[in-house]
Structure 1
Amino acid sequence: MAEPRFMSLPDVALELSVTESQVYHMVRSGELPAIKIGGRGQWRVERVRLEQYIEQKYAETAAWVAENPLVQHDPE
């Protein structure tokens, strides 16, 4: 069976190992694209958008690491 196209915020939180509150903030700030559906306005994140978000975070992290190399100090 194929994975569902859309994920609830609790499912996204589990996938990313973060809190639902953190996912809600990412969605409301526009950091993580999502849609609001249904009469109660439930948020859904498209699985492909989540994968794109993860890839973007890998790229951002790699750039940060390159700009901030780990410097080990030799004990004197």
Structure 2
Amino acid sequence: MPEPRFLLLSDVAAELNVSDSQVYHMVRSGELPAIKVGGRGQWRVERAMLERYIEEKYAETAAWVRDNPLAEREAD
């Protein structure tokens, strides 16, 4: 059975190992693209958008690590 195209915010939170409220903030701030569906306006995140978000975070982290190298400890 194929994976669902759209994920609940709780599913996204489980995938990223963060809280539901963190994912809600990411969606509401526009950091993580999502849509509202149904009469009650429930949030859904497309799996492809989540994967793209993860790839972007890997790239941002790699750039940060490159620009912020660990300082070498001085030899005693």
Q: Same fold (TM over 0.5)?
A: yes
* C-alpha RMSD of matched pairs (Å): 0.8
Q: Once the two structures are aligned, what percentage of the paired residues are identical?
A: 72
SS of residue matched to 2:32: coil
Unpaired runs of 5+ residues, structure 1, are: none
Separation in 1, partners of 2:17, 2:61:
17
SS of residue matched to 1:43: strand
Separation in 2, partners of 1:16, 1:48:
14
> What corresponds to 1:32 in structure 2?
32
Separation in 1, partners of 2:55, 2:9:
19
TM-score scaled to structure 2, two decimals?
Answer: 0.96
> What corresponds to 2:69 in structure 1?
69
Quick one: which amino acid aligns to residue 56 of structure 1? E
Unpaired runs of 5+ residues, structure 2, are: none
* Structure 1 consecutive aligned stretches of length 4 or more whose deviation exceeds 4 Å: none
Quick one: which amino acid aligns to residue 67 of structure 1? D
**Structure 1 residues 4-19: aligned runs within 5 Å:** 4-19=4-19
SS of residue matched to 1:36: strand
> What corresponds to 1:22 in structure 2?
22
Aligned pairs, number: 76
Determine if the alignment matches structure 1 residue 48 to structure 2 residue 48: yes
